[in-house]
Amino acid sequence: MSALVIPVSLLDEARVFFEDCGTTGCEGTAMIMAGPDGVAHRLVIPDQRATPLPYCSVEVTRQGKFDLLAALGPKDVYASRIHSHPGLAFHSPTDDANPAITHEGALSIVVPFFGLGLRRGLDSCAVLVRRRGEWVSVNVEGERESLIAAR
């Protein structure tokens, strides 16, 4: 599998969304859509309901699930979920239990500090890849470049 290429403009769009959610103490979630060429071309932000600090959770509503389905074109795939956390970037037990996408090679990007971490690019984020039904953390150095690239 070649690296998923994510345009910087798409990451900026995600950062603005997550920072906006963070102004009310809430996390946010979105999906990154890519075509068969492995280039991400759309950030899809579904309808969602967020619970602010101190509990901090986000749930995609029924309408949001329909939004995600309706957004897909015939050759598109959701290559990655991207979501924010209020603190450090890591995959929580809730993230593991609610993966959003589960195909082999799917990516999960966790953005720290309500999106502020994206100001430093993907290196400040946790990146995980789906392998044999499990989420596996990908180190910043080494394998990450073979899975994901911002351009």
Do 80 and 106 contact (CB within 8 A), yes or no?
A: yes
Do 64 and 56 contact (CB within 8 A), yes or no?
A: no
pLDDT band at 130 (very low <50, low <70, confident <90, very high): very high
Domain with residues 4-150, CATH architecture: 3-Layer(aba) Sandwich (3.40)
* Domain spans, the chain: 4-150
3-state secondary structure 25-93: CCCCEEEEEECCCCEEEEEECCCEEEECCCCCEEEECHHHHHHHHHHCCCCCEEEEEEEECCCCCCCCH
Count of alpha carbons within 13 Å of 120, Cβ hemisphere only? 11
pTM of the model: 0.94
35-93 confidence digits (pLDDT tens): 999 999 999 999 999 999 999 999 999 999 999 999 999 999 999 999 999 999 999 99
Lowest-confidence region among 6-15, 16-25, 93-102, 108-117: 93-102
